[in-house]
């Protein structure tokens, strides 16, 4: 047991030692990174002062703002205070000694040269102290008002120093050249410092901890845990990871609460929907809408908890911005999922209501509108994402406008298919579920898409045809008829039949067809009440056929043929077969009643005596 305790203490001390080593080295690297950014800003300021092109100036200023933004990311992720007094300490001591000596000798040029260098190093210290202030402001959750007040005071101080700068002494020797150089360096660092202050003044949110966390009081909770003595001792150990114990504990608590309460909320909401919506007859069909949006909303609640936990854990790290970008994309995806389900459910409800009210809706146009709405949702989501990442959507759209002609030429076939699909839907050539024949393809229409039409053939194969080809082809649509599916047949009776019996059979068949409940009668009115057009024949417009013809039509080789031509009331194939079968049975009964028989192919064989034929032939020749 003692050995185990010793090992634990040894490991803990080792971890603390290496953590503090990494902590110090990381601090040095971060300070060097801050210096590099400020040097880059000074270089950009020099380029800005020398450049007169408006376009280039705008780009340079934008680059400078990006540098300051990167600098703030470095500062916000810092965890150490910098030793301001150690910045150029030896150089300052040497310069102060030289100034005392040169002032005693009356060497004004040397004094001014060294004074400019001292002011330069002191400006670096001022910048370092401001960086420390920003780190402490972020760490101690200072309010925005205090940060702005400190910045205003520093701006007033640096402006006073700039105003009090003496003009450099003029001369030809090297010392005067050094004075001019030190003067320019001092002006540049003052300008960088002032730009830095102005940037932070205009963007205080880069220093102040996320307002989202402040609104829900997580910062106060994190600060409470960080102020506990035991946890405060651990913070330096985990500082290289850019987290603290307060954020870690709050993040774990939020995550655990989310995992515990999400199933409870899910089951509870399911019970409420089942009790108050699914079993409530007052809200017709709206349960489909609630069910469709229920799951996306639950996912949004769950991910909100995960987002909250990530914010509490990474609120001081420089890569929190990257995580926020991914979280924003995920939220956009959930919103698209929610809107897709909402669109589908609303359309399903409208179709169901239309079916119950015997009201027809053009499913093809509705599905086209659904696809268009979903496309708009996706485009808006992409626009929001691009805007979130700072991408100029207007510039992209203008680029697309310039390349529109080239795009149209490249997508010529796709556009022709798209407009072909529109022609099919607008002209109502056919709709989903129709039995059609286009060329050699015959079957049931599955879907009319933006690019192609799919047909399920009767041998259960799926055929895809481009809309451009379908819209210009001859389409045979068997479903565009409301009353009348043709029954045409010939009934052959034998030549031995009595013609009076045939006349009576024809009359009986006519009467049977007129009285048959499944046969369309010309005496009945079948005109639809929908879409009347005075310039078109209503029977042809709505697909109504009720012709009845029964006639002795021809003398065939072995039968007298009776033509029977009529239409069933139903256009359904199965019902048509049932009606046709019953008509055939009744015709057979009528023929039997009238002593008629069905004719069938027969061969008549005549046997003759050859000798008798020769004698008869000789007599004929003599005559």
CATH code of the domain covering residue 472 = 2.30.30.60
Most confident of 93-97, 342-346, 395-399: 93-97
In a domain, 418, yes or no: no
- By residue range, what is the domain housing residue 547? 485-527+534-593
In a domain, 516, yes or no: yes
Res 4: pLDDT: 40
Distance CA 521, CA 537 (A): 18
Contact 16, 240 (CB under 8 A): no
> Same domain, yes or no, for 248 and 266?
yes
Residue with tokens 């939020």: 254
> Same domain, yes or no, for 158 and 236?
no
Distance, first Cα to last Cα, the chain: 151
Average pLDDT, the chain: 75
| CATH code where residue 570 lies | 3.30.70.100
In a domain, 601, yes or no: no
The partner residues of 419 in beta bridges, in order of sequence, read: none
* Residues 48-72: tens digit of each pLDDT: 766 777 777 777 777 777 777 766 7
pLDDT classification of 530: cutoffs 50, 70, 90: very low
In a domain, 422, yes or no: no
> Same domain, yes or no, for 295 and 383?
yes
In a domain, 388, yes or no: yes
User: Rounded mean pLDDT of 188-208?
Assistant: 81
Q: When comparing pLDDT for 459 and 29, which is higher?
A: 459
Q: Per-residue b/e over 498-515, b at no fewer than 16 CB within 10 Å?
A: eeeebebbbebbbebbee
- Give backbone dihedrals phi and psi of 340, rounded to 5 degrees, phi first: -60, -45
Would the pTM count as exceeding 0.75? no
3-state secondary structure 138-162: HHCCCCHHHHHHHHHHHHHHHHHHH
- Give backbone dihedrals phi and psi of 454, rounded to 5 degrees, phi first: -105, 135
The CA distances from residue 597 to 423, 509, 564, in Å, are: 54, 15, 17
pLDDT classification of 85: cutoffs 50, 70, 90: confident
> Same domain, yes or no, for 400 and 290?
yes
Q: When comparing pLDDT for 516 and 415, which is higher?
A: 516
Q: How many CB atoms lie within 10 A of CB 260?
A: 9
What's the length of the chain? Answer: 623
> Same domain, yes or no, for 40 and 173?
yes
pLDDT classification of 3: cutoffs 50, 70, 90: very low
> Same domain, yes or no, for 292 and 380?
yes
> Same domain, yes or no, for 310 and 452?
no
In the chain, how many domains are there? 4
Report the percentage of the chain scoring pLDDT > 70: 70
Q: DSSP for 431-495?
A: -TT-EEEETTEEEEEEEE-SSEEEEEETTS-EEEEEHHHHHHS-EEETTS-SB-EEEEEEEEE-T
The dihedral over CA atoms of 392, 395, 397, 398, expressed in degrees to the nearest 10, equals 170
User: Which residue among 157, 175, 208 closes a domain?
Assistant: 208
> Same domain, yes or no, for 347 and 203?
no
* Residues 568-611: tens digit of each pLDDT: 888 888 888 999 999 999 999 999 999 998 988 877 666 666 55
Q: DSSP for 158-201?
A: HHHHHHHPPPPP--SSHHHHHHHHHHHHHHHHHHHHHHHHHHHH
Encoded tokens for 380: 């808006």
Ranges 17-21, 108-112, 254-258, 521-525: which has the least confidence: 17-21
In a domain, 455, yes or no: yes
In a domain, 361, yes or no: yes
> Same domain, yes or no, for 387 and 455?
no
> Same domain, yes or no, for 304 and 239?
yes
> Same domain, yes or no, for 346 and 472?
no
Distance CA 572, CA 482 (A): 10
In a domain, 19, yes or no: no
Q: When comparing pLDDT for 73 and 6, which is higher?
A: 73
> Same domain, yes or no, for 394 and 473?
no
């Amino acid at each position: 047991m003692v050995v185990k305790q010793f090992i634990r203490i040894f490991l803990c001390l080792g971890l603390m030692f290496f953590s503090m080593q990494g902590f110090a080295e990381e601090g040095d690297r971060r300070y060097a990174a801050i210096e590099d950014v400020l040097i880059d800003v000074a270089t950009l300021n020099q380029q800005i002062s020398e450049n007169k092109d408006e376009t280039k100036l705008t780009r340079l200023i934008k680059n400078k703002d990006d540098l300051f933004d990167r600098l703030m990311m470095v500062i916000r992720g810092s965890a150490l205070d910098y030793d301001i007094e150690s910045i150029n300490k030896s150089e300052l001591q040497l310069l102060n000694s030289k100034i005392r000596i040169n002032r005693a000798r009356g060497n004004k040029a040397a004094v001014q040269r060294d004074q400019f260098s001292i002011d330069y190093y002191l400006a670096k210290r001022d910048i370092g102290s401001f960086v420390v202030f920003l780190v402490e402001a972020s760490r101690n959750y200072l309010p925005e008002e205090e940060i702005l007040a400190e910045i205003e005071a520093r701006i007033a101080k640096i402006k006073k120093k700039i105003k009090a700068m003496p003009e450099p002494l003029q001369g030809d020797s090297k010392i005067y050249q050094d004075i001019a150089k030190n003067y320019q360096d001092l002006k540049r660092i003052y300008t960088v410092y002032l730009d830095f202050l102005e940037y932070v003044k205009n963007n205080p949110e880069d220093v102040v901890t996320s307002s989202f966390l402040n609104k829900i009081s997580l910062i106060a909770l994190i600060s409470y845990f960080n102020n506990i003595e035991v946890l405060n001792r651990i913070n330096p150990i985990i500082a290289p990871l850019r987290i603290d114990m307060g954020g870690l504990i709050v993040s774990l608590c939020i995550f655990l609460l989310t995992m515990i309460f999400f199933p409870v909320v899910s089951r509870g909401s399911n019970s409420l929907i089942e009790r108050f919506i699914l079993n409530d007859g007052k809200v017709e069909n709206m349960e489909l809408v609630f069910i469709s949006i229920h799951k996306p909303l639950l996912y949004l609640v769950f991910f909100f908890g995960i987002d909250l936990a990530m914010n509490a854990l990474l609120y001081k790290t420089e890569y929190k911005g990257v995580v926020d970008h991914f979280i924003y994309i995920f939220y956009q995806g959930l919103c698209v999922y929610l809107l897709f389900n909402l669109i589908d459910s609303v359309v399903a409800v409208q179709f169901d209501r239309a079916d119950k009210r015997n009201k027809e809706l053009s499913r093809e146009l509705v599905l086209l509108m659904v696809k268009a709405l979903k496309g708009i949702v996706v485009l808006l989501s992409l626009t929001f994402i691009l805007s979130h990442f700072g991408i100029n959507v207007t510039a992209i759209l203008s680029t697309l406008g310039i390349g529109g002609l080239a795009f149209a030429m490249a997508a010529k076939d796709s556009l022709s298919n798209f407009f072909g699909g529109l022609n099919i839907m607008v002209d109502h050539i056919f709709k989903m579920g129709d039995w059609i024949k286009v060329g050699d393809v015959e079957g049931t229409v599955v879907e009319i898409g933006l690019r192609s039409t799919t047909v399920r053939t009767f041998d259960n194969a799926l055929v895809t045809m481009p809309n451009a080809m379908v819209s210009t082809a001859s389409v045979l649509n068997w479903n565009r008829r409301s009353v009348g599916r043709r029954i045409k047949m010939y009934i052959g009776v034998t030549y031995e039949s009595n013609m009076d019996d045939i006349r009576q059979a024809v009359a009986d068949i006519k009467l049977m067809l007129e009285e048959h409940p499944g046969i369309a009668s010309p005496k009945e009115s079948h005109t639809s009440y929908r879409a009347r057009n005075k310039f078109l024949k209503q029977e042809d417009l709505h697909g109504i056929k009720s012709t009845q013809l029964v006639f002795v039509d021809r003398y065939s080789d072995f039968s007298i043929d009776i033509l029977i031509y009529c239409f069933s009331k139903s256009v359904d194939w199965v019902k048509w077969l049932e009606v046709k079968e019953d008509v055939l049975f009744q015709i057979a009964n009528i023929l039997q009643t009238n002593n008629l028989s069905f004719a069938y192919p027969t061969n008549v064989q005549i046997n003759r005596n050859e000798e008798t034929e020769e004698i008869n032939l000789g007599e004929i020749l003599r005559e």
